[in-house]
Amino acid sequence: MPEDKAHDSGFKVVDRRPFSVDGTRREGAEEKTSERSSELRTPAAASSPTSATREPEEYLEPEGSGFETLVSYLSTTAMFQLGVLPGPSGERIPPDMVSARRTIDLLEVLQEKTRGNLTPVESRLLEDVLYELRLSYVEVEKRGARKRR
C-alpha cells in the first residue's frame, strides 16, 4: 500500500507535467521539456520526415489522395489475388478466388457506403475499378473452368 513506508520497491515517480494542479506553469518546465524532447530525437530521426518535430498538417495526405490510395490498394490486392499481376519477383501467383471475391465485395461495400459523398472523379474511379475487377474475375473463372475439363 502507498501508506506502507517499510516496503521500498525502488520505484520513483516524477511529475514532469509543465503545469501544476491550479493551471500555472511550473518553474523550469520549459527547459525540462526542451531537454527531454532533444534527448528523444536522434540525428537520424530529426532529419527524417516522420520525426516527432513535424506539424500535424504534414501528416495529412494531399486532398483527394486518401480515397484514391485506398481504392488503388484494394484493387491491386484483388489483381494479385486473381493471379493477374505477377509477384514481386515476377513469378506467377496462383489465383485465390475466394480472397479476390472478398476484396471485390469490400470495394462494393465501399461504393455503397460512400454513395452520394464522393466527388465525380472518385465515384468514376471506383466504378471503373469495380468494372475491371469484375471482368477479370469472370475471365479467371472461365480459364479455371476450361482447365478443369
Residue range 76-93: mean pLDDT, rounded: 90
Q: What is residue 45's predicted lDDT score, i.e. its pLDDT?
A: 44
Distance in angstroms (rounded) separating the CA atoms of residues 146 and 12:
72
Q: Which residues contact 108 (CB under 8 A, 6 or more apart)?
A: 130
Distance in angstroms (rounded) separating the CA atoms of residues 149 and 144:
9
- At residue 94, does pLDDT exceed 50? yes
Highest averaged pLDDT of the listed ranges 17-26, 32-41, 57-66, 85-94? 85-94
Q: Lowest-pLDDT range, 4-8, 66-70, 127-131?
A: 4-8
Distance in angstroms (rounded) separating the CA atoms of residues 103 and 5:
60
Residue range 143-147: mean pLDDT, rounded: 83
Q: Which residue has better confidence, 75 or 20?
A: 75
pLDDT tens-digit map of 96-122: 999 999 999 999 999 999 999 999 999
Q: What is residue 43's predicted lDDT score, i.e. its pLDDT?
A: 47
Q: Which of the four pLDDT bands, split at 50, 70 and 90, describes residue 65?
A: low
Whole-model pTM over 0.85:
no
Cell triple for residue 47? 532529419
DSSP 57: G
Domains of the chain: 29-59 (no CATH), 65-148 (1.20.58)
Distance in angstroms (rounded) separating the CA atoms of residues 149 and 139:
16
